[in-house]
Structure 1
Amino acid sequence: MKSLFSIFLVIFLSKGCSQEQDLSDVKIIYGANNRGFHRTIQIEKDVFTVVNKRDAKPVLVELTDAQWNEIGKLYSKIDLNTFNDLEGPTMERAYDGKPHADMSIIVKDKTYTTKGFDHTIPPAKIKEFVDYINKLADDAVAKNPVLGSYSVEELLSKDVSKKEYFISFDADKVSGFMGCNMYSGTYEFQEETISFGPLMATKKYCENEMENETSWFKVSSEVSTFKMEDKTILLYDNENNLVLKATKK
């Protein structure tokens, strides 16, 4: 009888350390930040949102029933009794080697928060959960549609298709050639908006080839939106005037 009671007590205590899979009264917030990275994942009432840029609006991620069930299953393994004491096994965040991450769980009127950890290296006790929600966030991030190198066909209503002008987009860098000097700079895009930072260029002078280049350097700072039409990119200014048209090589 005593041994039977002991078994019951162990089962009872082990259940007390975990939660049900029902997330209806639970809010989960995961955040990771450093100078070059930002991510916020929020899960609340069957809504999964992700923010991947500072000051950006949350993006709703549509999850399947199987994905929601997996989140619930992994959440049920988390022990809230020890959650506030969880801390990562590494300290790369101390020298900016990794973004600083933490996670909070709000159940009704009580909040539980980790002591912090390196992004992608969470405490072992929540590793499955953290890895899974970050994978969902990674899969939801739209691939950059503008990546690639393009031959410029039109610049400020001028047909320049006979020229050898081009513009190339890497992950966060734009570069190209508009007749005389090679140039490069940074750019940012989100959905249909795009903006260019200051463009740096070599200092050559090319007779009869400077007008278009100078115009591009001036107007590039006014570019605000873009459209993709198959392999063609269209760049527009703040007044929706077409600035540049180019087709992927």
Structure 2
Amino acid sequence: MRIVSLLLLTIVIGTGCSSQKKPDMATTSIEYSAMSRGFYKKITVQNQTVWVENERGKDAVESKMDLAKWNQIVTEFEKINVETIATLKAPTEKRFYDGAAIGNLKIIQNQKTYETQGFDNGFPPKEIEKLVNLLVDFTEE
């Protein structure tokens, strides 16, 4: 009986720990885009590299980011449940009357794509706000 109990306990603990794995950030791609009739911005981050596109049809500018910035992005990303980002509610609706560009966050992880609904550029849902603001900082550098 003790052996069976010990075996079950080991299985339960092992299963619990395996569900808490950190995402593989080397293969995860995070993309933020914002666009309207006269505005375009696309920022893609993957494995300490960032690509910034500020104009449609132009090549993205690639650069390496420092480790501190990468760690901030990883920390904020780990707080997000990618399975639920499609259901996040936008806090404002300025994009409905051209008051703001339409923002969108897309995450490609393990060959699956997770994408938010459109939200106002500059006013992301609070659950992803810190991550989006870190990504937008690349266009200001």
Q: SS of the counterpart of 2:127?
A: helix
Q: Give the structure-1-normalised TM-score.
A: 0.47
Aligned to 2:99: 97
Q: Check whether the contact 1:21–1:73 (CA below 8 A) recurs between aligned residues.
A: no
Q: CA offsets, 1:138-160, max 9 Å, x none?
A: 22xxxxxxxxxxxxxxxxxxxxx
- Return the letter of the residue paired with 1:65: L
Which contiguous aligned blocks of 4+ residues in structure 1 show a shift greater than 2 angstroms?
19-22
Q: Which has the higher strand share?
A: 1
Q: Which residue of 2 aligns with 1:58?
A: 60
Query: For 1:103, what is the secondary structure of its paired residue?
Result: strand
Output aligned runs, 1:30-109, within 5 Å. Answer: 30-109=32-111
Structure 2 CA distance for aligned equivalents of residues 106 and 81 of structure 1: 11
Where does the alignment leave 5 or more consecutive residues of structure 2 unmatched?
1-11
- 1:122 aligns to what? 124
Q: Match for 1:29 among 22, 28, 31? A: 31
Match of 2:140 in 1: 138
Equivalences, count: 128
CA contact (8 A) 1:21 1:75 kept: no
Normalized per residue, the structure richer in helix is 2
Any unmatched runs of 5+ in structure 1?
1-7, 140-249
The sequence identity of aligned pairs, in percent, is: 31
Provide the TM-score with structure 2 as the length reference: 0.81
**Could you tell me how far apart the structure 1 residues matched to 2:63 and 2:135 are?**
11
- Greater RCO, 1 or 2 (C-alpha within 8 Å, sep 6+): 2
Per-residue CA deviations over 1:100-145 (Å, capped at 9, x if unaligned) read 0111111122111101100010000000000111012222xxxxxx
1:45 shift after superposition: 2.9
User: Any conservation in 1 of the 2:91–2:124 contact (CA below 8 Å)?
Assistant: yes
Letter of the 2:92 counterpart: T
